[in-house]
Amino acid sequence: MPSITDQTHLLGEQYNTSANLSARSSLHERFSVNQQGWHPWVFDQLASLPESSRILELGCGPGWLWVHNWQRIPPGWEITLTDLSPGMIAQARQNLAAEGEARFRFDVIDAQEIPYPDAAFDAVVANHMLYHVPDRPRALAEIRRVLKPGGQLLAATNGHNHMAELWEIVLQVTDATRDANRSEFHFGLESGREQLQPWFDVIERRDYPDALLVTEAEPLIAYAASSALWGVQGDAAATERLAAHVRRQLASEGVIRINKNSGIFVARR
Ligand SMILES: C[S@@+](CC[C@H](N)C(=O)[O-])C[C@H]1O[C@@H](n2cnc3c(N)ncnc32)[C@H](O)[C@@H]1O
């Protein structure tokens, strides 16, 4: 299985387009308990920024943070959306075109080598992306460099118990191993603060309480098939075993509860 920091795999397969991310997102959108929604909550964490601010998002994916909060963006914010994947940037452009693409600047960049001047931004957003970056100290040094004094990094990620009940299921029916190649082992809610400390003066962790109550098999199977992590991708027999297990559990219990463990670090320089 490729490492989650394998940038060639991420660019060529996992995030070549937004299809895999969309399969995961649609499970969250359909079956989450917390009605606020992840992206509105992340946007709330930016709320203290002044009316006139410059914001950089790294690893923006399809631009969902802005699509879901379009009505709330202050007119004075200048927003630069960036990602390592040209396919993601093309999708972000398309998703935001209706809202007025002129409000955003788009760029294909690597978080480890940010091509902008020192002290250019009031905030940097890294939403579920730092765990993909192979040299995180280099990326964090770059983030600090492009932030103004007093500027903030918002770094969202998962904790060790994220989707624990899905792990219990896949470990029974596939060859997946609950190994160190998981997001939370690279940059997680438990390990993030220590990694941020050399670069930031004040670090606050804020958690987003949520769980999934899944009542249909197909979206859960599509979720598991969207990443090599869960042991079913490209393996028809393993996919069938997972599908049979999920359908049996739904038939007997009516619902599968899967707890989430996500949150954000707000770090100021
Ligand atoms: C899990 S997705 C999150 C996308 C988006 N932030 C969201 O939450 O919907 C991770 C994103 O990080 C990007 N990425 C991975 N490595 C990167 C790097 N070194 N620099 C910039 N972006 C990177 C991927 O292409 C992908 O779009």
Rounded Cα gap, residues 107 and 119, in angstroms: 18
**11-36 per-position pLDDT tens digit:** 888 898 888 889 899 999 999 999 99
CB of 114 closer than 8 Å to CB of 141:
no
Looking at 139-148, 173-182, 207-216, 252-261, which range is the least confident one?
Answer: 173-182
Residue 33 belongs to a domain: yes
Atom 11 of ligand 1, nearest CA residue:
59
* Residue ranges with strand state E in 159-214: 202-208, 211-214
- Model pTM above 0.85: yes
CATH number at residue 14: 3.40.50.150
- Minimal-distance CA residue to ligand 1 atom 13: 59
Residue 101: pLDDT band by 50, 70, 90 thresholds?
low
- Structural domain includes residue 73: yes
Our answer on whether the CB atom of 114 is closer than 6 Å to any ligand 1 atom is no
Query: Is residue 186 a contact partner of residue 5, using CB atoms and an 8 Å limit?
Result: yes
Q: How confident is the model at residue 100 (pLDDT cuts 50, 70, 90)?
A: low
Tally the domains of the chain: 1
Within-domain flag for 114: yes
| 215 belongs to a structural domain | no
Is there a domain that residue 238 lies in? no
Residue 129 CB less than 6 A away from ligand 1? yes
Question: Does 169 map to a domain?
Answer: no
Q: Give the residue, by CA position, lying nearest to ligand 1 atom 1.
A: 128
What is the tens place of the pLDDT at every residue in 173-218? 988 887 767 888 899 999 999 999 999 999 999 999 999 999 999 9
Tell how far the Cα of 248 is from the centroid of ligand 1, in angstroms.
35
Residues 6+ apart with CB under 8 A from 263: 156, 157, 159, 189, 205, 206, 207, 208
Quick one: which atom of ligand 1 is closest to the CA of 112?
19
In a domain, 47, yes or no: yes
Which range marks the domain in which residue 82 is found?
A: 7-162+178-210+261-268
Mutate to test the pocket of ligand 1, among 5, 6, 13, 15 (most ligand atoms within 8 A of CB): 15
Considering the chain, what percentage of its residues have pLDDT values greater than 90?
81
141 belongs to a structural domain: yes
